[in-house]
Structures are given as structure tokens and as C-alpha cells.
């Protein structure tokens, strides 16, 4: 059985492009950092923690 990923959305957190996908094993978030860092893929719980961190950083920057 092949591993199929279903893209569910793309959005911005600050200047970072984020893409969410899910499949039969869970979900992942890919973050393309605007500052030139390598793209990172986070899955399941780690994805939620990273997303929370990125949002908190943006809120802090917006103050």
C-alpha cells in the first residue's frame, strides 16, 4: 500500500510559509522559513508544538 498525503492548506505565520497535510498516519506541518533556513517538516505532536511556538513568536514580535 502506498503512503498518500493529502494537502489540506497553506498559510502564513509572520513571513514563514506553512503547509499542513494529513494522511492515514497523522498529519505534518512543513515550515518554509523566510530567513533562509532549511525547510522543516514536523509531524503530529511535534508539529503542534512548533506551530504554537511560531505563533507565540509572531505575537511577541507584534507587540
Supply 61's cell numbers. Answer: 514580535
Question: Dihedral, CA atoms, 8, 10, 11, 13, nearest 10 degrees?
Answer: 100
Q: What is the mean pLDDT of residues 2-15?
A: 63
Residue 33 DSSP code: -
Q: Convert the pLDDT of each residue in 51-63 to its tens digit.
A: 788 788 877 877 7
- Name the residue with higher pLDDT: 45 or 3: 45
Look up the pTM and report it: 0.49
pLDDT grade, residue 7 (50/70/90)? low
pLDDT grade, residue 2 (50/70/90)? very low
Amino acid at each position: 500500500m502506498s503512503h498518500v498525503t493529502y494537502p489540506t492548506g497553506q498559510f502564513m505565520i509572520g513571513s514563514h510559509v506553512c503547509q499542513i497535510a494529513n494522511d492515514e498516519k497523522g498529519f505534518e506541518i512543513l515550515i518554509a522559513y523566510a530567513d533562509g533556513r532549511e525547510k522543516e517538516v514536523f509531524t503530529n505532536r511535534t508539529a503542534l508544538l512548533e506551530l504554537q511556538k511560531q505563533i507565540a513568536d509572531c505575537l511577541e514580535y507584534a507587540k
